[in-house]
A and B are shown apart, each in its own frame.
Chain A
Amino acid sequence: AQSVTQPDIHITVSEGASLELRCNYSYGATPYLFWYVQSPGQGLQLLLKYFSGDTLVQGIKGFEAEFKRSQSSFNLRKPSVHWSDAAEYFCAVGAGDDKIIFGKGTRLHILP
């Protein structure tokens, strides 16, 4: 069965520091992969997605993610975080039947 694991429930980084949020998936075929962000009191906004092709995907707000088939991973990165990046981040995988499965989320805290 398809699944998504985000190993870190909370992550704290200093403003200006680099960020990497981890995501591992389980899926038999080439997956569709997504990262969404949820700011406090808001809905989910798509940051980026991977369907095929270049394994390094650029998204909005300066985020990028790299698909590594050998590691079943799709980690999200940002070179320098801003206080406005404090939010909850969800990794998701397309389950191949018009549904997507979400990870449990990683809450990002930013230190001034």
Chain B
Amino acid sequence: DADVTQTPRNRITKTGKRIMLECSQTKGHDRMYWYRQDPGLGLRLIYYSFDVKDINKGEISDGYSVSRQAQAKFSLSLESAIPNQTALYFCATTGDTDTQYFGPGTRLTVL
């Protein structure tokens, strides 16, 4: 089984809808991250969490919120989706050495 899972894998939604992307990990890591990937821009950090009570904004947090429900779960929400949030979203975890382990990604399309 995969160490980092993301649901859903694909989602199409309409402008203004609330969307939640979920991430679960079995690696026992405390640190979890959400990125978005856009062609030609690489990965940009949205939010990250060092433990259940520690949530931090990343480079591009506007329009997003997160919830760390447990050590193993970290959800990303778009309160009111807009078309320029169409992207590939990745969850990642890291242990002691900064090596990040990525989920398979969620492809989100906002119409």
Contact = CB atoms under 8 A, between A and B. Distances in A.
Q: Binding site of B, secondary structure by majority: helix, strand, loop or mixed?
A: strand
A100 interface: yes
B98 A43 contact: no
A46 B94 contact: no
A100 B59 CA distance: 12
Interface residues of B, number: 22
Interface residues of A, number: 20
B84 interface: no
Contacts of A105: 40, 42
B10 to A, nearest CB: 11
B74 interface: no
Interface stretch (B13-21, B62-70, B102-110): B102-110
- Give 6 closest A-B pairs by Cβ, nearest first: A104-B42, A94-B98, A43-B102, A44-B102, A102-B43, A43-B104
Given A43-B103, A102-B43, 19 more contacts: A32-B97, A32-B98, A42-B104, A42-B105, A43-B90, A43-B102, A44-B92, A46-B101, A49-B97, A49-B99, A51-B97, A98-B50, A98-B94, A99-B45, A99-B48, A99-B58, A100-B100, A102-B42, A103-B42
